[in-house]
C-alpha cells in the first residue's frame, strides 16, 4: 500500500480538495493507496474546509465537509511514502522542517508544468475555486491513474 500526504498552508482550501478528489479516484478504481492532508500552519486546526471548497467539491459529487484541518508533524515526514505540496512556499516550509527531498513533490509536477496551485483563500468570490478544482483534479488523476 502506498501512502500520500497532501500539504498546503491552512489545510482548509486546497489540500482538503486534493484529499477528497484522491479518495474519490481511489475508491472508484479500487487502488491500494491511502491519502491524508494537512497544513504547514496552525491557524485553522480543527476547522472544516472553507465554504467554497466544500461547495465546489459538492458540485462535482464529492463530499469533503467531514474533513478537519490539522498541522503537519515530524512523524508525518517519516510515515508517508510521498508528500505532495500544493505550492512552492509549502515546499520551502517542508524542506525547512527536514522533509526528505526524495519523497517531496509539487502537485503541479503531475501534468501542469510544475505550476503552483494558487491559494484561493485570498480570491475574491467563487470563480477561482472552479479553476483550482480543475487543476487539482487533473493533477491528482495524473498522479494516481
Q: Which three cell numbers stand for residue 1?
A: 500500500
Closest distance between ligand 4NP and the C-beta of residue 29, in Å?
A: 26
To the nearest whole angstrom, how small is the minimum distance from the Cβ of residue 50 to ligand 4NP? 7
Q: Which of 4, 5, 10, 140 binds ligand 4NP (CB under 6 A)?
A: 10
- Output 10 or 20, the one with its CB closest to ligand 4NP: 10
Among 19, 76, 119, 137, binds ligand 4NP (CB under 6 A): 119
CA dihedral angle for residue 86, residue 82, residue 104, residue 122, rounded to 10 degrees: 10
Phi (first) and psi of residue 101, to 5 degrees: -60, -30
- Sheet with 82-85, side-by-side order of all strands: 33-39, 2-8, 82-85, 104-106
Would you name the residues annotated as active-site residues? 8, 14, 119
Amino acid at each position: 500500500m502506498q501512502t500520500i500526504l497532501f500539504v498546503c498552508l491552512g489545510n482548509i482550501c486546497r489540500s482538503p480538495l486534493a484529499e477528497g478528489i484522491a479518495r474519490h479516484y481511489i475508491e472508484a478504481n479500487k487502488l491500494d493507496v491511502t491519502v491524508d492532508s494537512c497544513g504547514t500552519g496552525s491557524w485553522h486546526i480543527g476547522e472544516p474546509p472553507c465554504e467554497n471548497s466544500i461547495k465546489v467539491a459538492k458540485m462535482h459529487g464529492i463530499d469533503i465537509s467531514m474533513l478537519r484541518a490539522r498541522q503537519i508533524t515530524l512523524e508525518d515526514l517519516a510515515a508517508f511514502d510521498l508528500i505532495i505540496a500544493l505550492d512552492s512556499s509549502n515546499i520551502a516550509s517542508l524542506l525547512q522542517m527536514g522533509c526528505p527531498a526524495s519523497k517531496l513533490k509539487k502537485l503541479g509536477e503531475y501534468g501542469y508544468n510544475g505550476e503552483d496551485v494558487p491559494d484561493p483563500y485570498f480570491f475574491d468570490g467563487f470563480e477561482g475555486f472552479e479553476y483550482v478544482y480543475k487543476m487539482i483534479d487533473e493533477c491528482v488523476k495524473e498522479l494516481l491513474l
